[in-house]
Amino acid sequence: MRKLEYWESTQNMAHPKPHIRFKGVWDMQDLYEFLISYFRDRKYKFHEKIYKHKAPSPFGVERQYIWHAERMIDEMHHFHIDIYIHTYDAHDIEVRLPNGNMKIYTKGRIWIEFGSYIDMYFDDEHSHEGSSRRWSSNRTLASMRMFLNNFVVRKKHGWHTWDVMMYREVQKAVWLTRRRLKMEYDEYEMKNWMGVHN
Amino acid sequence: MGEVRLVVDHMKLEYKGIFSTREMFRMFTRWFKENPFEKGADYISEQHTSHGKCIEYVYWPWYKLSDFMRKYMKIRILIYDLKKVDIVVDGRKKTMDHAKIIIYIDGFMETDYEHRWGNAPMLIFIRTLYAKFIYKRYTKFFEKVIVDDCNGLYTHFETFFNMYKSYVPVKEAPYF
């Protein structure tokens, strides 16, 4: 049997992954700026991990974007959001707006995935005490962390954190992205589930 | 991994004609709120084609019935050739959607959703005994609950589409 390492006591709450697939015309620049500002406004640290531009085919360009946003909520919770965007057969077209101005839009297909998870009692790599592994430096601490997660703050993880992450952060981003793409149904059903202030 | 049982298999609703997509989703949302399901992974697809918009929505709402059992549904909404049409309602002209829509509803029951009883054969054995014999009444009861949910949602959709049966496009009935 494989010996377990202490860092494997790290637990995170995974969330369901919403997907968007769209074929039509959209404003890529606007979508790009919107998603980045969405996370920056919410005090996330935003990283563009990969930007891949593949050799264009006769049908258009294929691009891949892999983004990661993270935010430390409190000592217990660390939010992570992974966004994966893939465009296929994309090419620029000129569109006349209702006010008569011309603008460059993108025509093609786009695939967006919103993955997210929460680290609970994470090992703070930038701790002021200089310790990079607060909870996985020895077996006792690792067991204590698992005990806290599984029994002491289990309910709080559910209603206080899972719901906030799901309905206020991820699903809201999905809703606003749908709106940016001008999809047929662009309303957000869970808009006020976690309070009306955010 | 817990056992997943398919309780309601592919309940299908088909409709072709005039309706409002926005209103349909609002109605669906109201149902979502009234039967407090949590949101699962959803899949949204929209394609703008020369013959109209083709839209696909897949929802996985779930709800924990107990620490051991969870019910969830798979709702797949397919809309083909969606186009905007003018219709007449109470002598007034209004723009609505015309499309073919197919809705599939599946209902599932999952036991041991936190996978606490699935690590060792002995635990799986005990879990199965509990689910099949000791908690048999609860298992059967929860199955009826998910069947009821699926039927309720189906009726909601049916009632909604029945409302639009009398609507006709302007080209068939002039609004003046």
Domain residue ranges of chain A, discontinuous segments joined by +: 6-180
CA distance B49 to chain A (A): 8
pLDDT value of residue A80: 93
Q: Determine the structural domain holding residue B157 and report its residue range.
A: 4-163
Domain assignment present for B176: no
Over residues B116-125, mean pLDDT: 87
Distance of CA A45 to the CA centre of its chain: 11
Phi, psi of B43 (to 5 degrees): -125, 125
For residue A95, the SS3 value is strand
Asked if A185 lies within 8 A of B55 by C-beta distance, the reply is yes
Name every chain A residue with its beta carbon within 8 A of the beta carbon of B49: 23
Q: What confidence category does residue A137 fall into, taking pLDDT thresholds of 50, 70 and 90?
A: confident
Asked if B47 lies within 8 A of A23 by C-beta distance, the reply is yes
Helices (H) and strands (E) in chain A, counts: 5, 6
Distance of CA A174 to the CA centre of its chain: 10
- Range 135-164 of A in CB contact (< 8 A) with B: none
Residue A131 has pLDDT above 60, yes or no: no
Helix axis angle for B21-34 and B136-163, nearest 10°, is: 150
pLDDT value of residue A2: 58
Over residues A17-37, mean pLDDT: 93
Total domains in the fold of chain B: 1
Give the residue with greater pLDDT, B50 vs A130: B50
Helices (H) and strands (E) in chain B, counts: 3, 6
Residues with Cβ within 8 Å of B164's Cβ and at least 6 positions away in sequence, in order, are: B17, B18, B19, B20, B96
Residues with Cβ within 8 Å of A8's Cβ and at least 6 positions away in sequence, in order, are: none
Over residues B135-157, mean pLDDT: 92
d(Cα B64, Cα B1) in Å, to the nearest integer?
16
Residues with Cβ within 8 Å of B131's Cβ and at least 6 positions away in sequence, in order, are: B3, B68, B111, B139
Name every chain A residue with its beta carbon within 8 A of the beta carbon of B44: 18-21, 174, 178, 183
Domain assignment present for B168: no
Positions of E strands within chain A? 11-14, 19-26, 45-57, 60-72, 77-96, 102-120
What pTM was estimated for this model as a whole? 0.82
Domain assignment present for B123: yes
CA distance B94 to chain A (A): 17
Over residues B22-27, mean pLDDT: 90
Mutate to test the interface with B, among A105, A178, A182, A184 (most CBs of B within 10 A): A184
Q: Which residues of B have a CB under 8 Å from any CB of A? A: 21-22, 25-26, 29, 32-33, 38-49, 53, 55-57, 60, 82
Question: Which amino acid is located at B165 in the chain?
Answer: K
Domain assignment present for B143: yes
Asked if B42 lies within 8 A of A18 by C-beta distance, the reply is yes
Tell me, what's the ipTM? 0.76
**Closest residue to A23, CB basis, from B38, B48, B82:** B48
Domain assignment present for B140: yes
The closest of B71, B68, B78, B4 to B36, measured between CA atoms, is B71
pLDDT value of residue B13: 95
Name every chain A residue with its beta carbon within 8 A of the beta carbon of B57: 185
d(Cα A36, Cα B171) in Å, to the nearest integer?
46
Say what percent of chain A tops pLDDT 90.
47
Asked if A187 lies within 8 A of B45 by C-beta distance, the reply is no
pLDDT value of residue A196: 66
Residue of A nearest to B116 (CA): A150
The DSSP letter of residue A121 is S
Say what percent of chain A tops pLDDT 70.
88
Domain assignment present for B117: yes
pLDDT value of residue A13: 79
d(Cα A165, Cα B17) in Å, to the nearest integer?
39
**CA angle B150-B151-B156, nearest 5°?**
100
On the 0-12 / 13-18 / 19+ scale of CB atoms within 10 A, A18 is: buried
Least confident window among A44-53, A83-92, B21-30: B21-30
pLDDT value of residue A66: 96
Over residues A106-126, mean pLDDT: 86
What's the pLDDT tens digit per position in A51-92? Answer: 999 988 888 899 999 999 999 888 888 899 999 999 999 999
Domain assignment present for B175: no
pLDDT value of residue B149: 94
**Closest residue to A178, CB basis, from B21, B32, B44:** B44
Q: What is the mean pLDDT of chain A?
A: 85
Give the residue with greater pLDDT, B175 vs B167: B167
Residue of A nearest to B53 (CA): A184
pLDDT value of residue A7: 63
Domain assignment present for B29: yes
**Closest residue to B22, CB basis, from A22, A174, A185:** A185
